[in-house]
Amino acid sequence: MAQSTHKRVLKLMGSRFEITVIAKDSIEANNYIDLAIEEISRIEKLISSWDPNSQTSEINSNAGIKPIKVDKELFDLISRAIKISELTDGAFDISYASMDRIWKFDGSMTEMPSEDEIKASVEKVGYNNITLDPENSTVFLKHEGMKIGFGAIGKGYAADRAKTLLVSKGVKSGIINASGDMTTWGRQTNGEEWKVAITNPLNKNKAFALLPITNGAVVTSGNYEKYVNFNGTRYTHIIDPRTGYPATGIISVTVFAPKAELADALSTSVFVMGKEVGLNRIEQLPNIECIIIDYQGNIFKSKNIKINKL
């Protein structure tokens, strides 16, 4: 029986999600897409720091007070996040959530925050102060005022989980696209691989490469609109959790990895680490590739990527 492609676009986790499945008809496709939405909503309830009833909020409101028992799923996600922090020397850090929002990227900033303000803004940040107890499945934030948040990993994780669920239900092929965090499996109806267009932010109407992705994930981090200029330096909205200073020099990072969660976390980290350290770190990791575009529009890529220019 001929299979066809079905897609639904909706807002989940405060972001635009596009769920694409290949199915025999729209009834089957809609059932599958509903399952994916249910799964993403379930994860949002677990990891949302905006929802006062979530386990994540409970961890945050008990910072400096007591450890909180959490589901194994959340415990494991936090545990993996800490491993990524170690891997990136703290460029990725889920305890960034306690950072004071002293940088404004809405045009209202007229001068840079002072050095003291910047230093104070990250005082409560530090993944080393997240204590995990695997035996009791508890999470404890050592200092009062500490907070964790999954802004740089949550959508990727949700996309991975939705994909795993659909694969287990027998969906042969599809894409979960969580606002640019994409995870794919299978092939298009014509037998070709799914392809992702890489665009240069300085010329958004024109993709410079179309890359095939087979059963993997690709995430692009970068917001070319959100930045401020001070003293001839362009500061982007992605802030280094170690220093409190925004990342500079890069406007777009695309990471290819087996899972969207990892690609999501690494794409943010590369921004913060900068292109030399970032590329070097990526090249040490198996099955992970990366494309970086700097603010002058130059393209840098990890050594195993073959780009066929359009």
167-176 pLDDT, tens digit each? 999 999 999 9
Q: Which domain holds residue 197?
A: 4-44+153-301
- Picking from 242, 292, 243, 248, the residue whose alpha carbon sits closest to that of residue 266 is 292
Top pLDDT among 30 and 201 is at 30
Q: Residue 96's pLDDT is what?
A: 95
**Both tokens of residue 306?**
């073959």
Structural domain contains residue 269: yes
Claim to verify: residue 38 and residue 80 sit in the same structural domain: no
> Between helices 275-283 and 260-273, what is the axis angle to 10°?
140
How many other CB atoms are found less than 10 A from the CB of residue 9? 10
In tens, the pLDDT along 251-301 reads 999 999 999 999 999 999 999 999 999 999 999 999 999 999 998 889 999
Q: What are the pLDDT digits (tens) for 75-127? A: 999 999 999 999 999 999 999 999 988 988 888 888 899 999 999 999 999 99
| Structural domains of the chain, count | 2
Helices and strands of the chain, counted as H and E runs: 7, 16
For residues 235 and 76, give the distance between their C-alpha atoms in angstroms, rounded to a whole number: 33
Instruction: Judge contact between 197 and 189, C-beta under 8 A.
Output: no
3-state helix, strand, coil in the chain (%, to 5): 30, 30, 40
**Quick one: 220 and 296 in the same domain?**
yes
Judge if 131 and 201 occupy the same domain. Answer: no
- Do residue 176 and residue 285 come from a single domain? yes
